[in-house]
Chain A
Amino acid sequence: MSNKFLIPIGPYHPLQEEPELFKLYCDGEIVRDIKWETGYNHRGIEKLAESKTYDQVFFLVERICGICSTSHPFAFANAVEEICRIEITDRAKYIRSIIGELERIHSHLLWAGLAGHFLGYNTVFMWAWKYREPVLDLFEMITGNRNSYAMFKVGGVRRDIENNKIPDILKVMDEVKKKVTLLTGAVMDDPVIHSRTKGVGVLTRQDITDYGAVGPTARASGVAIDIRKDDPYAAYPLVNWKVITAEGGDVFAKAEVRLLEMFESVSIIEQCLEKLRKEKEGDISIKVKEIPEGIGTGRAEAPRGEVFHCVFSDGSNSPVRHKIRAPSYVNIATFRKSCIGQSISDATISLAAVDPCYCCTERLAAAYDEASGKKIFNARELIELSVNKTRLLREQQVR
C-alpha cells in the first residue's frame, strides 16, 4: 500500500491565516512525507533595509512580525550598539526589558489560545485571548500602540515610563498573574489535553542540535538555550529569574514551558519596575553621532526563540547588508522530525507547537455603512478614533 495522497495545509492556512503551504503526503491517516513551500509573503526586507537609514530600519524590522514586533528592533539595536560600542543608560535597559517581557506574555497567551483552537478547544482560545487583552491595553498605555510599539532607537528608547504609572502597571501585572494561574491550572490538569498532547511531535536533544532549534522548542527538549542568560543584554543580568526547561520534547512540554515562562516574565517586569523607580526620570537615551565601519551581530530572545541580526556597516548612514534570522526559520524546519509517521490530527498540532511566526497583520482602511453604502470613517478618522481611545485609556489608568 504505497497509495499516497496529498493533504494540503495552505496556501492559506485554515487557522493561522498566514500564507504558507504544507504538503502532507499521507497513507490513510498517517503522514509519510512532508514538504514546505514558502515565499508567498517574501517582502525582501533584508534588501529594503539596505536603502533605509539606521533610524528607519527600526520601523522596518518592527514590521517583520506582527506578534513579536519588539524582538526584531531589540536584536537590531543590540547589533548596531555593538558596532558603535556604546552602553545605554540603566533606565533605558529596564524599559527595554519591560517591553520585551510584556511581549513575551502576550505572545505566549496568543499561542496558548491558538493551540487550544487547533485542538478544537475553543473555550481555551477565547479565554486566553481575553486574558491577553489587558496586556495589550498596557502596551497602549506605555507606548501608545497595541502593536508595533516604535519604542527602540540606537542608544536607548523613544518614550519613558513615568514613575506615576508604575503602580497601575503593577496592578495589571497582578491581575495577569491571577489569570495565567487559572489558565495554567485548566490546561495542565485536563486529562483529555494530556491524552492529546503527550508523546506527540517529540523532538529529542539530538534533533534540536541537528536543526539548531531555539527558544521554547529547544527548552522543551531539555536544551537550556536562552539568550537572555547565555549572552546577557539589556536589564536581564540585573534581575533574578530562571530559565524554564522541560524534558518531554512533546507538545505538552512546549505548552508547559511557555505557560511557566509567563510567570518568570511577570516577575522580571515587577523587578524592573521596582528598580525603575530609583533611576532618574527622562534619562532614557544617549546621543549617537555616527555609526562606524564594522560588523555587528545582535541577538535577542524573542518569545519564539533567538532572533539574530547581523549588520554590515561601511560608516555611511545605512547598512550595507542586513541579515535577519527569525527563530521560526530554524524551528519550523524541525517539522520533518516531529510530523512524519504521525496521524494528520497530531501532525497539525505538532506544526503549531513550534509557534510559527505570523506575518504582518493587515489594518482596516475604511469602514462602510451597511444600509447606505456610504463611507462613514476614512483612514484618518479611524486613526483619530484610535488616538482618542489611547488618550482615554491613559487618563483612566493614570488618575
Chain B
Amino acid sequence: MRTAFWLVGATALALATPAMAADSIKIGFVSTFSGPTAVIGNDMRNSFELALDHLGRKMGGKPVEVIYEDDGQKPDVGKQKTEKLVQSDKVDFIVGYIWSNVLLASLKSAVDSQTFLISANAGPSQLAGELCSPYVFSTSWQNDQTPEAMGLYMNQKGIKSVFLIGPNYAAGKDMLAGVKSTFKGQVVGEEYTVWPSQLDFSAELSKARASKADAIFVFYPGAAGVQFLNQYVQAGLKQQIPLYTAFTIDELSLPLQKENALGIPGAQEWVNDLPNEENKRFVADYRKKYPGLRPTFYGAQSYDAAHLINSAVVAVKGDSSKKDAMKAEMEKANFKSVRGPFKYGKNHIPIQSFYLQDVVKDANGELSLKTVATIVENSQDRFHDKCPMK
C-alpha cells in the first residue's frame, strides 16, 4: 500500500516537472564552488540570487529556475558541466565563468547548441575577436581592458620601467599584453608562473628586485593575490618598488591581505562606492542579506547578468524561443547596470569606463576599496576588429 502511494506520488512529480519547466525560464550557472577559489563562486551566486530577489524571482511573468554547477576551476570539468546544462537540462541561458581557460573550453558546447552564454567575468581575447558569437554576451570586460587602464595610469604617474608578473594561462597572458599595449615606458622583465599550483613567488620577486624597475605590475586573482602580496611585503619590496595591480585586491582578498594592501592601486570597471542608485541598492541589500560579507566586482557582474537576461526575457514577454528578438534586445544593454550605463560593441563586449581604486580605512576603521578617479571613459577592447559579426 505504502509502495503504491510512493509510486503514485513519484509519477505525479515526474509528470509535473516537465510541464512546469516549459513555463519557466531556465538558467544554468557555471562557476567555482569548491576548492580555494570557491569564495568567488559563492559571491557570484549570492549576487545572482539577490538580483533574482530584486526581480521578484520572475522574468517576463515566468518563474526563474537556476541550476548551479561547479567547474572546480578546471577547463575539462567546466566543459562537461556546460554540456550537461545544454543537453540534458536544456537551459535557456548559461551564466558565470570566472576563469578564461574554463570559458574557452566550454564555449563551443554552448554556441553550437545556440544557447545564450553570458560571461559574468572571464574575457579572453579570443572571445572578443575571432571566437565572438551572436549567442555570447559579456557583463564584464575583455581581459586586456583593465590592465590597459592600469598602463595608462602608470604613464600618468611618470613611471619609466616596469616588471610584469602573472600566471601562465589565457587570462594571465591577456593581462600582461594589455599593460604592454598602453604603457609607454620600458618593460624590463616579464615572468609567468605555473597556474594555479605555484603559490611561492620568491624567485620572481628576487628577479623583480634585481631588475631595479620603477614599478611592478601583477595580476593574481583569488587567493594567489593574497599570497603574492604577503610575499611582496615580507621581501621588503613595498618600500623599494611600488606595486600596480589588476584583479589582485578585492573584497574577498582584502580581509586576508589586511594592511599589506593599503595604498596599492588597482583598476576596475566597478567599485562598491560608485554613486548610482542601482549600485547603492545592490551593495546595501547584499550586506543586509549576507551579513559579514561584502560584494565584489565578480558579484556586481553576476548581478548585471541577471538584469541583462531579464531585459531580454521581458522584451519577448517570456517566450524564450524568440532568440533573435532576445539577442537584439540584449545588444541594446537596456538595463540599469550597477557600474553605470554602458554600450555593447558589435562583439558583445561592453564599451565602458575604468576607475582607479585604492585601499583605505573607512569611517569604521575597516579596510575598504574606494574610487579615486576615472582613468578612462568609453574604453573598447582591442580585438573587436577581428570579430566577423556585424
Q: Do the two chains belong together in a single complex? A: no
